[in-house]
Structure 1
Amino acid sequence: MTSWRGRGQERDRGSASVEVILIVPVLLAFLALLTLTGRSYAAGLAADALAHGAARSASLYLDPGEARIAAECAVAESVGTWGRACQDPTVTIQHTFTAGGRAVRADVTCISQRDDLPVLGLGERRTISGHATSVLDVHREQER
């Protein structure tokens, strides 16, 4: 005659394997989603930082052509620090008028690569935009 305790152990045999098989895909999907969220946040930071650098560099020049060149150079110098978060940036410069005077607005658009996260099925690339405005420094023009 077997005891009640022995019969329960036979029913639980193999249940740990089933639990692991069920929980591992959920954990992997959660980690992939967490990685995607972090990468999207970093891409947004990269686009905003590049736009800020472009606007600040462009604000040092009074001539719109020189301002555009300075903004493009600033973005080209610092885009490598962001890796896959912001690739192939394009810069658009606009001269505007604000309550504080003349200003330069920089818009940076770049591509965020996420081809190493195919689990989520959201596509390999995402376009990210960043915007920044800097007041035009009319008292100082940077020399080349």
Structure 2
Amino acid sequence: MNQVRCTARRARRLRGDEGSAAIEAAIIFPALIMFLCLAIAGGRIVTSGAKIDAAAQDAAREASIHRTAAAAQTAAQAAAAESLTGQGITCTSTSVTVNTGGLNVPAGQVGTVTATVTCTLKLSDLLLPGVPGAKTLTSTATSVVDLYRERSE
């Protein structure tokens, strides 16, 4: 009789699932945290990309309304910096290049100005293994120069 009770107790212990929830949580919880961090990194990259697109468009439009290449370059850099700051984007490094060839086209002909904004985003604050410490995003936009506006010679 005593031996039957011991065998029954031992069988219950072997079949019991006490502690399995803790083990499952220990396995799943890090994966969930990693997935959340990846989603945050992806979201940050996508939204920042859209904001950098807007900054490039602002820079191109601002450059297209100036008459000289030097003024266009200066205005484009200021417009891109203002746009990025206004949208809450903090770049570790930023560069703005402007192709002002369209400003030299004679009046009555179509000319375009192209601005390229490059921004390096910091991702190291996410502390996620496998995610690079920074991501460089580049956006290019083109704006048409007014067809009948006087051009500098």
* Short-chain TM bin: 0.7 to 0.9
Paired AA for residue 115 in structure 1: S
Deviation at 1:9, TM superposition (A): 8.8
CA deviation after TM superposition for structure 1 residue 81, in Å: 2.8
Contact 1:47–1:86, Cα closer than 8 Å, also in 2: no
> Shift of the alpha carbon at 1:10?
5.5
Equivalent in the alignment of 2:117: 108
Contact 2:56–2:140 under 8 Å retained in 1:
yes
CA distance in 2, matches of 1:78, 1:51: 9
List per-residue Cα deviations over 1:41-62 (Å, max 9, x = no partner).
0221122111000001011112
Q: Is the 8 A contact 2:93 2:119 kept in 1?
A: yes
Cα distance change, pair 84–70 in 1 and its aligned pair in 2 (3 A): closer
The match for 1:46 is: 51
Amino acid at match of 1:106: A
Counterparts of 1:20-35 in structure 2, within 5 Å, are: 20-35=25-40
Root-mean-square deviation over aligned CA pairs: 2.6
Task: Give the deviation of 1:139 after TM superposition.
Answer: 4.3
Corresponding residue of 2:42: 37
- The size of the alignment, in residue pairs, is 138
**Is this contact kept in 2: 1:55–1:134, CA < 8 A?**
yes
Identity of aligned residues (%): 37
- Structure 2: gaps (5+ residues): 103-108
Give me the TM-score of the superposition, normalised by structure 2.
Answer: 0.77
- C-alpha deviations, 1:4-61, integer Å up to 9, x for none? 9x92795211111111111101100100110110011022112211100000101111
Instruction: Go from structure 1 to structure 2 and tell me whether the alpha carbon gap of 1:120 and 1:139 turns closer, same or farther (over 3 Å shift).
Output: farther
Show the counterpart of 2:80.
75
Report the TM-score when normalising by structure 1. 0.82
Identify which range, 78-87 or 58-67, moves more after superposition.
Answer: 78-87
Unaligned runs of 5+ in 1: none
Moved more, 9-18 or 24-33: 9-18
- Distance apart, 1:120 and its partner CA: 2.6
The one-letter amino acid paired with 2:61 is R
CA contact (8 A) 2:84 2:90 kept: no
Match of 2:18 among 13, 22, 30: 13
1:34 maps to amino acid: A
